[in-house]
A and B are shown apart, each in its own frame.
Chain A
Amino acid sequence: MKKSFAAVLSGVLATLLVAGGCSSSSPAANNTAANSEAAPASSAAAAASGSKEIGIVFTDLNNPVFVEMKEAMEAKAKELGYTTTVLNSSDSSDTELQNVQNLISKKVAAICLLPNDADSAVNTVKAANNANIPIVGFNRVIDTKGECKFVTQDVTDNVSGAVEAGKYAVQLLKDVKDPKIVILRGTSGVDADKQRYDGFVQGIKGTPLEKAVIAQVNGKFDTQEGFTVMQNVIQAQPRIDLVYAENDTMALGALQALEAANRKDTKIIGYDGSKECVQKIAEGKITATIAQKFKALGTTAVDWAVKAAEGKADNAPPTISIGTELVTKDNAQGYVFK
């Protein structure tokens, strides 16, 4: 018994010490941080402690575009001379709060946050505010309700992107008699769902497509879910001319369902501009997508985070809107992700 117990102890110790050794930030940096002089401005308090680390919190890392963002953000931070700690909130607001609290304990210079949901994030952002650590929001804008403060928040202009999708749909189906459109919605309650739906509806308003939406189903922004609900719709509808999916992961699920049912004439428009989706567009399997400039969303956030850490962010705009780009077969080949 003593042997196995000792084995466990050594196992735990070894795991931690190896992990500690392999980590990006060294204990030395944390200790010297405490010794440097303090600067007068409160926004520079964290930077004054000498930390050259940015904390980045993602609501989840399942979506491949989030992974692309993460890589772009890590590279940008490195370019500016900072290391990063990336954390995953696993779609839980409480985990998100824990993540930010742990980053505060880690005394990072600034935090970039992709919030899980707007209401729960307020307390989390407040925690960073109370610790004098500047925090930048990215990819989703939340209403601070005057209770918490972001340096800035950047987000894709989802509505204008969806309007463009609607207008493109009109072009696409202009020669189709009695067109039928299915909309694959994302998780309800998320801003992106509302914006991408409203924009699309706006784009088809006043056109023959205005009354063409025959079904709306909830794919929860997930491939498997998108596949399943699409299968059900296919059973119910003998002809579908266009599927508008509120994100690429659902578009891919819909594609699988349509291929399985041998529905070759159904066109698909996605949203996000993920690598896989753009590849399918180049292959002609998906018709188009509204590509977000994910790397720009991430790197802009990192840019402002670093500026704030160095006390240079006094003129930051409250929100930054980043545009989208329509990707079709014409420009899918060799498309450069922005």
Chain B
Amino acid sequence: MENSFNAEAEKGRNVKVQSVLKKFINNDLSRTLIIFLVLCIALGIARPATFLTTSNLINVLSQISVNGIMVIGMTFILLTGGIDISVGSVAAFTSMITAMLLVSKNPFGSNIVVALIVGIGVGVLIGALSGFFVSKIELQPFIVTLAMMTIFRGMTMVISQGNPVSQLGDAFSYIGVKYLGPIPINVVIMIAFYALAYYILEHTCFGRYVYAIGGNKEAARLSGINTTKIIFGIYMICAATASIAGMILASRVNSATPTAGNGTEMDAIAAAVIGGVSLTGGKGKILGALIGAFIIGVLNNGLVLLGIDVYWTQVVKGVIILLAVVADMLSKRKAAK
């Protein structure tokens, strides 16, 4: 009698362990983390002398920071089922404004704090504009941000006349080039923003409403959520992160170029999607997006270290993005069953 009772308890424990393990692997976040770890281990095995050096790893972290910060804002928007493809142009336009202020002879304008505030402020205004068209005029986010992307890439050309602006001063270089101890400052900025975004999305009403809108916008509106305000907010957040990413970009090369940020919207979206953020909204975690950005950054670095022919790099990158997204889709379907 006792034996069968123990056997039952034993079986019960095994089932419990199995279900915890299953839960772990079923969890999107852990899956993304595992993919990232597998990637790092594979590269560590294939190229220990070049991948696993401190200088390489710090370089990779620094390279990730630009996309990493852009992904934060992009995630907020993707979570509501929207999209923002103007981030690259916003990054270029705002960093060009800041750069032009920094090199101007105006004592007020060339102050680093003023220049940054004006640049990022302009970015937030652009975001508000996009937010206005999406929430009040109810235009499709893709179209609105496509228009913004074109307008502000053009505006960047107009104010710069096609010329880069460089020699941005020592103060500005802190953002992209200098270190805080062993860690690049841009990485510190990135981590700080992720912590902030995590808090907002997981622990505030605003965050909950963002997910609600993504789940079902109409239902959210009917249940009393001010969807207009929230949408305004997320487009402003996205433009702000794009501006900050643009500042880091310009600081790294000590120059604001008119073509800066080209294509960065794709990297941001890819990182978020790899990290489990759904394009239809309502699903995904900000930490997943961070891991997604890490995966892309390590991939870029790894492909060079592995000596993959330059023409194949694009193909390999695309294949891996596809695999990650398909796996995510398959697991969602299984879970739905």
CB-CB contacts below 8 Å: B289-337 with A: 300-313, 316, 319-320, 323-324, 326-327, 330-331, 334-335
- Please pick, from B46, B50, B263, the residue contacting A107 in the complex, using a CB distance under 8 A: B50
Stretch at the interface among B34-42, B71-79, B148-156, B226-234: B34-42
In the complex, which of the residues B46, B166, B330, B335 contacts A20, with contact meaning CB atoms closer than 8 Å? B46
Q: Say yes or no: is A90 at the interface (Cβ < 8 Å to chain B).
A: yes
**Counting CB contacts under 8 A, is B66 at the interface?**
yes
Interface residues in A81-97 by Cβ distance below 8 A to B read 85-88, 90-94, 96-97
Known: A23-B308, A87-B304, A92-B260. A101 touches B331 (CB 8 A): no
Which residues between 257 and 274 of chain A lie within 8 Å of chain B, taking CB atoms?
none
Chain A CB within 8 A of B187 CB = no
Contacts A1-B25, A2-B25, A8-B323 given; does A123 touch B49 at CB 8 Å: no
Tell me whether A91 and B262 are in contact (CB under 8 A).
yes
- A15-B320, A61-B310, A105-B56 as given contacts; A1 in contact with B163, CB under 8 Å: no
Please name all residues of chain B whose beta carbon is closer than 8 Å to the beta carbon of A103 when the two chains form the complex: 304
B59 touches A101 (CB 8 A): yes
Of the candidates B35, B43, B165, B307, the one whose C-beta lies within 8 Å of that of A25 is B307
B128 CB, min distance to chain A CBs, angstroms: 27
Contact A17 B25, CB 8 Å, known A8-B327, A87-B310, A93-B253:
no
- In whole Å, how far is A21's beta carbon from the nearest beta carbon of chain B? 9
Can you offer 12 A-B residue contacts whose CB atoms are under 8 A? A1-B330, A12-B39, A12-B320, A16-B42, A34-B49, A94-B260, A98-B300, A103-B304, A105-B305, A116-B257, A119-B253, A189-B258
Cβ–Cβ < 8 Å partners of B331 in chain A: 1, 4-5
Q: Does B130 interact with chain A (Cβ within 8 Å)?
A: no
Within 8 A of B (CB), among A105-155: 105-107, 116-117, 119-124
Chain A hits for B253, CB < 8 A: 93-94, 96-97, 119-121, 123-124
A80 close to chain B: CB less than 8 A: no
Task: Please give the distance in Å from A160's CB to the nearest CB on chain B.
Answer: 25
Does A5 contact B25, Cβ atoms closer than 8 Å?
yes
Distance between Cα atoms of A93 and B261 in the complex (Å) = 10
**Contact status A13-B323, CB under 8 Å:** no
Q: When A4-B331, A11-B323, A101-B63 are in contact, do A119 and B308 touch as well, CB less than 8 Å?
A: no
B58 to chain A, nearest CB (A): 10
Chain A residues with Cβ under 8 A from B50's Cβ?
30, 105-107
B249 at the interface (CB under 8 A from A): yes
* A24 adjacent to chain B (CB < 8 Å): yes
Most chain A CB within a 10 A radius of its CB, from B50, B163, B260, B334: B50
Q: What are the residues of chain A within 8 A of B38 when measuring CB–CB? A: 9, 12-13
In the complex, A93→B166 CA distance in Å?
12
Cβ–Cβ < 8 Å partners of B55 in chain A: 104-105
Q: How far is the CB of B223 from chain A (nearest CB, A)?
A: 32
B310 near A119 (CB under 8 angstroms)? no
Judged by a CB distance under 8 angstroms, whether A228 is at the interface is no
Chain A facing B: main interface SS: helix
Cβ-defined partner of B47 (8 Å) among A20, A88, A98? A20
With A13-B42, A107-B50, A188-B162 in contact, is A19–B304 under 8 Å at CB? no
Q: Smallest CB-CB separation from A56: which chain B residue?
A: B310
The 7 closest A-B pairs by CB, nearest first: A119-B166, A23-B307, A120-B253, A8-B327, A105-B56, A188-B162, A102-B304
How many residues of chain B get a CB closer than 8 Å to chain A's CBs? 65
Bound complex: CA A264 to CA B321 (Å): 49
Alpha-carbon distance between A99 and B59 when the two chains are bound, in angstroms? 11
User: Cβ of B145 < 8 Å from any Cβ of A?
Assistant: no
Residues in B neighbouring A61, C-beta threshold 8 A: 310-311
Contact bitstring B163-193, A, C-beta under 8 A = 1, else 0: 1111100000000010000000000000000
Residue A33, interface by CB 8 Å: yes
> Which of A7, A17, A104, A117 has the most CB atoms of chain B within a 10 A radius of its CB?
A117
Whether, in the assembled complex, A331 has its beta carbon less than 8 Å from a beta carbon of chain B, the answer is no
Bound CA span A19–B166, Å: 38
Shortest CB-to-CB span from B302 to chain A, Å, is 7
CB of A20 within 8 A of CB of B177, answer no
Given the complex of chains A and B, what is the CA–CA distance between A11 and B328 in angstroms? 14
A90's contact among B164, B260, B263, B307, by CB below 8 Å, is which?
A: B263
Cβ contact within 8 Å between B35 and A9: yes
Extra 13 A-B pairs, beta carbons < 8 Å, given A92-B259, A103-B304: A5-B31, A7-B327, A9-B38, A15-B320, A23-B308, A24-B309, A33-B49, A91-B262, A92-B260, A102-B59, A105-B301, A119-B166, A189-B258
Closest to A33 in B: B49
Mark out the residues of chain A between 21 and 74 whose CB falls within 8 Å of any chain B CB in the assembled complex. Answer: 22-25, 27, 30-31, 33-34, 61
Docked complex Cα distance between A99 and B63 (Å): 10
Complex Cα spacing A89 to B260, Å: 12
Using Cβ atoms and an 8 Å threshold, which residues of chain A touch B49? 27, 30-31, 33-34, 107
B3 interfacial by beta-carbon distance below 8 Å: no
Cβ of B26 within 8 Å of any chain A Cβ, yes or no, is yes
Q: What is the distance, in angstroms, from A181's C-beta to the closest C-beta of chain B?
A: 23
Flag if A16 contacts B39 (CB, 8 Å).
yes
Knowing A1-B330, A23-B306, A105-B53 are in contact, say whether A17-B254 is a contact too (CB < 8 A).
Answer: no
Complex CA gap A248/B90 in Å reads 33
Give which listed residue, A11, A16, A97, contacts B302 with CB less than 8 A: A16
